[in-house]
Amino acid sequence: MILPRERLLELFQAYPRDRRYALPLLQDIQKQCGYLPKEHIIEAAGYLGVPLSRIYAMATYYRSFSLEPRGKYVIKVCDGTACHIKDSKNVLETLKGLLCVGVGGMDKDGLFSVETVNCLGACALAPVMMIGEEYFGKLTEESITEILEGFRKREAVVAGI
């Protein structure tokens, strides 16, 4: 989603024009848009007075940024060591199968994207994933199917009203 210009400027106004605010500003843009649209990166570089190449490098350096549009719900599958030895690979395969997407991809309804992360810090519940800010632990194929259904129902309710 591309923001209207005045909304974008509002985001900018929260920060002084200084390169030290590049990271939080990009984070704010991503929070609003779900990803970092190219035109906003260019505007942000202009606003902060930082060379575009540096802002672009930053956006590709930090793992949390995406330059591609993502689903409404971003599923972060933990591949930390504890999850890895408890077969997080299966979680990923299950999700890929259920949603017909690859890692980094978005399903056809634009509802879910699947990503892997290093560690969600909920290792005692391995294997774990996070959707939005919600954690889901001790995942099995069944529980993953249920969780996705839950989100779909939530969506249907929202859309139904």
Partner 1 sequence: MKKTILVCCGTGCIAGGSLAVAAALKEKISELNADAAVETGIKQTGCNGFCEHGPIVKIMPDDISYYRVRVKDTAEIIGNLGKKPVERLLYRDDAGKRVKSQMENPFYATQKKLVLRNIGDIDPGNINDYIFRGGYEALKKALSTPPEDIISEVEKSGLRGRGGAGFPTGRKWRIAAGYDNFPKYVIMNGDEGDPGAFMDRSILEGDPHSVLEGIAICALAIGASEGFLYIREEYPLALRNVKKALADAENAGILGDSIFNSGKSLHLSVVRGGGAFVCGESTAMITSIEGGIGQPRAKYLYPTEQGLWNKPTVMNNVETFSNIPLIIGDGGAKFAEIGTENSKGTKVFALVGKIRRSGLVEVPMGTTLREIIFDIGGGIPGERRFKAVQIGGPSGGCLPESLLDVSVDFDTLLSYGAMMGSGGMIVMDERTCMVEVAKYNVEFLAKECCGTCVPCREGLRKLLDILTKICGGTGDNADLEMVESICEALKETSRCGLGKTAANPVLTSLKYFPGEYEEHIAQKRCKAGVCGMGEAK
Partner 2 sequence: MNIQIDGKTCIAEPGESILETARRNNIDIPSLCHHEALPGLACCRLCVVEIEDATGNRLVVASCVYPVAESVTVYTNTEKIKKHRRTNLTLLAGHVPEVKGVLLAYCREYGVIRDDSHMKAVVKEKCILCGLCVTACEALGNSAIQMAMRGIDRVVAPPFNEPSLNCIGCASCARVCPTDAIDCESVSGNRKIWGKTFSLVKCAACGEPYATVDELDWLKGKLLDTELNLAYCPNCRRRVSVNTGK
State the residues that interact with partner 1 by CB under 8 A: 18-24, 26-27, 50, 54, 57-58, 61-65, 76, 79-86, 117-126, 128, 130, 133-137
- We find the least distance from the C-beta atom of residue 10 to partner 2, in angstroms, to be 24
| Strand pairing category for 112-117 and 73-78 | parallel
**Quick one: which of 2, 9, 14, 52 contacts partner 2 (CB under 8 A)?**
52
71/127 with CB nearer partner 1: 127
**Residue-level length of the chain:** 161
17/108 with CB nearer partner 1: 17
37-51 as b/e: b if 16+ CB within 10 A: beebbebbbebbebe
Using CB under 8 A as the binding rule, whether residue 7 contacts partner 2 is answered as: no
78-109 as b/e: b if 16+ CB within 10 A: bbbebbeebebeebbebbeebbebeeebbbee
Using CB under 8 A as the binding rule, whether residue 63 contacts partner 2 is answered as: yes
Of 105, 108, 111, the closest CA to residue 92 belongs to 105
Question: Residue 56 binds which entry of partner 2, partner 1, none, with Cβ cut-offs from 5 to 8 Å by kind?
Answer: partner 2
One-letter amino acid of 9: L
Question: Residue 19 binds which entry of partner 2, partner 1, none, with Cβ cut-offs from 5 to 8 Å by kind?
Answer: partner 1
Q: List residues binding partner 2 (CB under 8 A).
A: 38, 41-42, 51-57, 60-61, 63, 67
